[in-house]
Amino acid sequence: QVQLVESGGGLVQAGGSLRLSCAASGRTFRYMGWFRQAPGKERVFVAGISWSGGNAYYADSAKGRFTISRDNARNTVYLQMNSLKPEDTAVYYCAARNDRGTAYHPNAYDYWGQGTQVTVSS
């Protein structure tokens, strides 16, 4: 019933931009977030946003460069990524949770997308 589908990843040069999209189906969620995972590393929080879109949170690595937004009419969350760096290279995952409030650990989320690859070249 529930499905999250990411899109928008690709290969860009350092300093470039990408906009990721996550389309949800089946239901809406109180809180949604973006995580990323590089090969051999843990999955880490990037950004999260509440139902209203009024509360957004960012990892230190993302703050000032990334912007998360939400369009509830389309049941879609976005991640605008600017000034990309090679260390941003990872698979980016959309995640959703039923509970209120910001959560930074992957185990707090109930549903996950399949991931979209972002590669930033030097």
Average confidence (pLDDT) over 69-82: 94
The token pair at 94 is: 């959309």
Running DSSP on this structure, what letter comes out for residue 12? E
**Local confidence band at 23 (pLDDT 50, 70, 90 cut-offs):** very high
Rounded Cα distance, 29 and 60, in Å: 24
pLDDT in tens, 43-55: 999 999 998 878 8
Mean of pLDDT values over 27-36 = 92
